[in-house]
């Protein structure tokens, strides 16, 4: 049962061709082959005719085409293999269909069998020097709580005021609903990541027992219930990451938008009011976005950008480079969970970059190597951050990859 309340390439152009025989005995290029025939000296100084010029430029075009093909081939050899299916996808279960790690599975079951511990996260965050920055952060945007106008999305909403006003006007209940407030009850959260480590875990039945279940973008539940569960309290997403299948929103209580650009708010307004976006507006999204999400207007929210901002500030303490850091939805969801629950567990977190052939996501056979192609997020800093939370006992890692 679900718990609803709870690249820049270099172009190489060949301008001079050697007439000497290559060492490997391969045939000469057309110009070089002509040069083999003895030519009287006075012919070498003749004026270039139209035919000569045409042949010359044709050769340059052929060389250019060859160079481009070679360049594309090199890039393909580097980037494409990470997205090809694995030669051997491990089931990660034994012959009897048991979890890949029985110890972790039993630990998860033991955690759920005990009573919820009030203020567990708060008490275990105290040893961390930055703990104050992780608490008392507004979760969702609402009219009576100001939003910083000093930063642009996703760390703020500067320049998005008009879009924000329209979006808030379409939301009957923009703030934190009573069902998610902590007063008077102890709550457990689980943040379900997309990591391949979740595959074969058999944690689905455990995940569905949490009071608040947080999922990210289009990570599916259909067909993956055994490992990932079937219920969703909050699906945190941006427009391009929203699931396209209406069935993925079954057993979903709430969708929370993460604003990365002003038009994301226009998309949310469109989805809620059922008024389609203009063709021009859709061109600004980097992939096709859904026009409809089968939830009622009161089931939508806007994630407060302070969650992203504060998460980025903490991650900066682990980063090698200075400046505003954009955290992943996963790290932001963990910080959001700290605001909502007394106890927080993680499932499907941790990228094992030491095994590039490993599965990146639990729902598809993409190599871990694919993470090297992204440059927006600092996954190394995020892993150190999450490891510290686990080491402090503030959160529990159900899948053991941190």
Query: 3-state SS string over 1-52?
Result: CCCCCCCCCCCCCCCCCCCCCCCCCCCCCHHHHHHCCCCCHHHHCCCCCHHH
How far is the C-alpha of 201 from the C-alpha of 90, rounded, in Å? 12
Total count of domains within the chain: 2
Whether 222 and 354 share a structural domain: yes
Residue 183 lies in a domain: yes
Q: Is 189 helix (H, G, I), strand (E, B) or coil?
A: strand
Q: Which helix (H) or strand (E) holds 331?
A: helix 329-340
Does one domain contain both 106 and 135? yes
Residue 52 lies in a domain: yes
* Pair 341, 47: CB distance under 8 Å: no
Domain annotation covers residue 380: yes
Cα–Cα dist 283/279, whole Å = 7
Tell me, yes or no, whether 243 and 369 share the same domain: yes
State whether 212 and 317 are in the same domain: yes
Q: Is residue 46 part of a domain?
A: yes
Same domain, 69 and 197: no
162 lies in some domain: yes
3-class DSSP state of 195: strand
The residue from 38, 56, 83 where one domain ends is 83
- Considering the domain architecture, whether residues 38 and 133 belong to the same structural domain is answered as no
Assess if residue 122 is contained within a domain. yes
User: What CATH number is given to the structural domain containing 244?
Assistant: 3.90.1480.20
pLDDT in tens, the chain (402 residues): 676 555 444 333 334 434 344 444 444 344 434 444 444 444 444 454 444 444 544 466 666 667 676 766 544 444 444 344 443 334 444 445 789 899 999 999 999 999 999 999 999 999 999 999 999 999 999 987 778 778 999 999 999 999 999 999 999 988 888 888 877 789 999 999 998 889 999 999 999 999 999 999 999 999 999 999 999 999 999 999 999 999 999 999 999 999 999 999 999 999 999 999 999 999 999 999 999 999 999 999 999 999 999 999 999 999 987 777 899 999 999 999 999 999 999 999 986 555 566 677 788 777 665 555 555 668 889 999 999 999 999 999 999 988
- Apex CA 93: angle with CA 90 and CA 96, to 5°? 135
CB 84, CB 371: distance < 8 Å: no
* H helix intervals, 49-101: 50-79
Strand partners, 215: 235
- Whether the predicted model's global pTM rises above the 0.85 cut: no
Task: Based on the fold, state whether residues 291 and 388 are members of the same structural domain.
Answer: yes
Domain range enclosing 36: 30-83
Quick one: 315 and 264 in the same domain? yes
Residue 20 lies in a domain: no
Residue 190 is assigned to a structural domain of this protein: yes
Residues for the chain: how many in total?
402
Last residue of a domain, which of 50, 83, 116?
A: 83
Do 126 and 195 belong to one domain?
yes
Do 169 and 289 lie in a common domain?
Answer: yes
Note whether 133 and 260 are same-domain residues: yes
Residues 70 and 106 in one domain: no
């Amino acid at each position: 049962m679900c718990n609803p309340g709870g690249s820049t390439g270099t172009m190489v152009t060949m301008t001079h061709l050697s007439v000497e025989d290559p060492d490997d005995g391969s045939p000469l290029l057309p110009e070089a082959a002509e040069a083999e025939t003895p030519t009287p000296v006075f012919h070498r100084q003749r004026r270039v005719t139209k035919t000569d010029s045409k042949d010359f430029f044709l050769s340059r075009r052929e060389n250019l085409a060859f160079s481009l093909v070679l360049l594309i081939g090199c890039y393909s050899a580097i980037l494409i293999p990470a997205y090809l299916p694995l030669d051997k996808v491990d089931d990660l279960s034994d012959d009897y269909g048991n979890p890949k790690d029985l110890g972790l599975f039993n630990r998860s079951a033991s955690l759920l069998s005990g009573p919820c511990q009030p203020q567990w996260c708060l008490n275990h965050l105290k040893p961390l020097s930055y703990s104050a920055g992780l608490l008392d952060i507004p979760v969702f945007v609402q009219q009576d709580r100001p939003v910083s106008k000093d930063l642009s999305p996703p760390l703020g909403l500067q320049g998005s005021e008009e879009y924000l006003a329209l979006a808030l006007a379409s939301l009957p209940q923009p703030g934190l609903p009573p069902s998610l407030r902590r007063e008077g009850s102890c709550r457990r959260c689980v943040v379900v990541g997309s990591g391949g480590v979740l595959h074969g875990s058999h944690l689905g039945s455990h995940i569905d027992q949490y009071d608040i279940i947080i999922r990210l973008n289009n990570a599916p539940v259909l067909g993956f219930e055994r490992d990932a569960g079937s219920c969703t309290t909050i699906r945190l997403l941006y427009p391009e990451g929203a699931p396209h299948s209406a069935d993925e929103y079954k057993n979903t209580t709430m969708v929370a938008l993460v604003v990365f650009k002003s038009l994301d708010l226009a998309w949310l307004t469109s989805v809620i009011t059922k008024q389609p976006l203009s063709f021009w507006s859709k061109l600004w999204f980097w992939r096709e976005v859904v026009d409809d999400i089968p939830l009622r207007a009161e089931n939508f929210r806007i994630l407060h950008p302070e969650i992203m901002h504060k998460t980025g500030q903490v991650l900066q303490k682990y980063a090698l480079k200075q400046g505003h850091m954009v955290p992943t939805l996963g790290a932001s969801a963990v910080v959001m969970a700290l605001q909502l629950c007394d106890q927080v567990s993680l499932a499907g977190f941790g990228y094992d970059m030491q095994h590039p052939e490993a599965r990146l996501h639990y729902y598809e056979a993409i190599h871990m190597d694919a993470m090297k192609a992204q440059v927006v997020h600092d996954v190394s800093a995020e892993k150190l951050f999450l490891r510290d939370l686990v080491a402090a006992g503030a959160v529990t890692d159900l899948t053991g990859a941190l």
